[in-house]
Amino acid sequence: MAESRLVSDLTAMVGVWRDELTATDAEGVPVLWDHHGGIPGAFPYTNLVYVDFDGVKYQQTNVTIAGRDLHERSFTATVRDGVLIFDRLGPEAPEHRGVSGGPGLVWFVATNLGDSGLQRYAEPDLIRIDGDRRWRDTVLWRNGALARLLHVEGTRVSVSTTELHPLDPRPGGTAVHGQRSVTTNYQSQPQTDTASGSEFQEVQL
């Protein structure tokens, strides 16, 4: 069953991952500074990624640990009718879902390409899992144009997500998962943080 395959692969992702992120532009040239992503910044950089999944509820928190300033982003989702449905990512954001692409493959994609927000920002993910290694590739479109390609190579550094990993630069006692992140990338007139230039904002929902 597709649900069993998806649940199995999401379960295989549970733990703490050290992800190394690189990017190229639409011509295949390495990107050293990304102006197109939701959070502008340098490439390459490194994230620590916490993934929890109990068979129904999915939670993920990314923490920047090298190459960029410390930043935390958290996402939540629930398995319904055989697919993983993400909580909306922000104002005018389309529904996103996780679906099985076969053994060891998970796609994170928009449900309906007709949603207007996708004309402003679209970034489908393909994740491949093989034991304690995983790979993630994304293609980013901004305002309908191909902007950049992202490649991630990850290594699981712990199977436990009960406390901060030693590589995590956040203060001791901080909760592993932060509050759910919300982006304004999909809005027709996004409200940009003028101090950082970021179109992401952290809000309590």
Flag whether the pTM goes above 0.85. Answer: yes
Instruction: State the DSSP string of 106-174.
Output: EEEEES-TT-GGGGTEE--EEEEEETTEEEEEEEEEETTEEEEEEEEEEEEEES--SS--TT--SPTT-
Dist CA 71 CA 93 (whole Å) = 22
pLDDT at site 188: 85
Closest-CA residue to 67 (of 29, 23, 25)? 23
In a structure prediction context, what are the per-residue pLDDT tens digits for the chain, which is 205 residues long? 445 899 999 999 999 999 999 999 999 999 999 999 878 899 999 999 999 999 999 999 999 999 999 999 999 999 998 899 999 887 878 899 999 999 999 999 999 998 888 888 999 999 999 999 999 999 999 999 999 999 999 999 999 999 999 999 999 999 999 888 888 888 887 454 433 344 444 332 2
Predicted local confidence at residue 39, as pLDDT: 83
Contact 48, 168 (CB under 8 A): yes
Give the pLDDT of residue 202.
38
Residue 172 and residue 154 in contact, taking contact as beta carbons nearer than 8 Å: no
pLDDT of residue 3: 52
